[in-house]
Amino acid sequence: NYWKYFIGQQRGLKRLRVFDKKKKQEDELMAWVKADATRTQKYGDIVSLLEQGYTERSKFEKSATYMQEAAFGSEMVVMGFRLFGLLNQLRTDAKDSEKIAAQVARAQAAADEFWKDYDPATDQEVTAAMFRMMHEDVERDLQPSVMNTIEKKFKGDFDAWAAKLFSTSMLTDRTRLEAFLAKPNLKTMEKDLGIQTMESCLSHYRGILGPALDLAGKDIDKGYRLMVAAMREKDPNKSWYPNANSTMRLTYGTVGSYVPADAMFYAHITTADGILEKEDNTNDEFIVPARQHELLKARNYGRYADENGELIVGFISNNDITGGNSGSGVFNGNGELIGIAFDGNWEAMSGDIAFEPELQRTISVDIR
């Protein structure tokens, strides 16, 4: 999903010539700034601050992304994070039985949740593959110290390392973990390959990547604040989009078709007939269960049929949509619930950066 999202986003940004538009906006803004000495003193560092911040951040961005997506993508590592409080307590004061018991209880609760759907065999394959990829793609001095262990003790064999880790660590076996929690001790934790891996990744992120990104972020934040202030001062009567992050967001729009390219047309609705037309039992995405096929063939839609006897199953509109909006209710002008938004069209993937109402569509299931 994420992979396809970025392909669509890049296509949209190129098609809408977003870079050219943003560059023109930046050039016009800085020309306005430089036309006045007071404005130059106040806003003259906007571009240099942003360039400096993004240049510095780019040095660490790749490593940070691999840490987040690869290292922290290992469920074993994430389970290790949940035991970090117990590890700290054992190091700080292993004799405080009350605090140890509290940390054990937290760890046990986390383990109960973790083991509901954990598949160690799959996680072992994923962990080996992701750490191998990080080792191959990230600069050596920006890799966590666990890579030294893999190189020296396992001769760079990531499969062998993962096999040893998953066959011995308390993080990958419920019986081993519960045996440890019954008698927790620091020595056992510090010798555990899974705990060592988790702590190596966490220390690397906290000690190197996090501070470096934070430092670069200060220049970016300052440059961005100045840029927004300058833009608002330059065009005081313009209505700017507010930053709606971490707020309850509402979007309005109109149901409608669109033309994605020359000689192409997508209607504003889809019907149940389309489910059968697209049926392909050799493709997981287009399998129609036998009972559903039978019911759709019968076309007995009852009160859910429209005036033409069709069953509308989906519709598109020029509402905005972004990650996290799936499942949001769609209401008509009378405040009546008519659908549930669940995706955006291919052209909408660039909507977070550039919104184009003639092309971008929210896809919703019709629940009337």
Angle (CA) 153 168 71, round 5°? 70
Quote the pLDDT of residue 170.
97
Does residue 293 contact residue 320 with C-beta atoms inside 8 Å?
Answer: no
pLDDT at 129 over 80: yes
- Strands in 312-317's sheet, in edge-to-edge order, are 269-271, 312-317, 362-366, 337-344, 329-331
Does residue 329 contact residue 306 with C-beta atoms inside 8 Å?
Answer: no
**Paired sense of beta strands 312-317 and 329-331, if any:** unpaired
- Per-residue pLDDT band at 3 (split at 50, 70, 90): confident
- Per-residue pLDDT band at 248 (split at 50, 70, 90): confident
- For tokens 């859910």, name the residue: 304
Quote the pLDDT of residue 6.
85
Does residue 86 contact residue 107 with C-beta atoms inside 8 Å?
Answer: yes
| 71 contacts: CB under 8 Å, gap ≥ 6 | 77, 130, 131, 134, 144, 201
Mean pLDDT of 176-180: 96
- Per-residue pLDDT band at 265 (split at 50, 70, 90): very high
Quote the pLDDT of residue 352.
80
Quote the pLDDT of residue 331.
96
What is the amino acid identity at position 322? T
Does residue 53 contact residue 216 with C-beta atoms inside 8 Å?
Answer: yes
Quote the pLDDT of residue 366.
96
**Residue 55's closest CA among 222, 260, 220, 210?**
220
Does residue 322 contact residue 367 with C-beta atoms inside 8 Å?
Answer: no
- How far, in Å, are 48, 86, 290, 301 from residue 295 at the CA level? 64, 56, 9, 9
Rounded CA-CA distance 269/363 in Å is: 10
The encoded tokens of residue 358 equal 């003639």
Rounded CA-CA distance 259/266 in Å is: 6
DSSP, collapsed to helix, strand or coil, labels residue 127 as: helix
Mean pLDDT of 210-238: 96
Rounded CA-CA distance 39/43 in Å is: 6
User: What's the pTM value of the predicted model, to 2 decimals?
Assistant: 0.74
DSSP, collapsed to helix, strand or coil, labels residue 338 as: strand
pLDDT digits (tens, 9 = 90+) for 6-65: 888 898 889 889 999 999 999 999 999 999 999 999 999 999 999 999 999 999 999 999
Quote the pLDDT of residue 345.
87
- For tokens 């019911």, name the residue: 295
**Residue 205's closest CA among 67, 82, 76, 70?**
67
For the chain, give the mean pLDDT: 93
Please classify residue 99 by burial: count the beta carbons closer than 10 Å to its beta carbon, then call 0-12 exposed, 13-18 middle and 19+ buried.
middle
The kind and range of the H/E element at 124 are helix 120-137
- Per-residue pLDDT band at 282 (split at 50, 70, 90): very high
Percentage of the chain beyond pLDDT 70 is 100
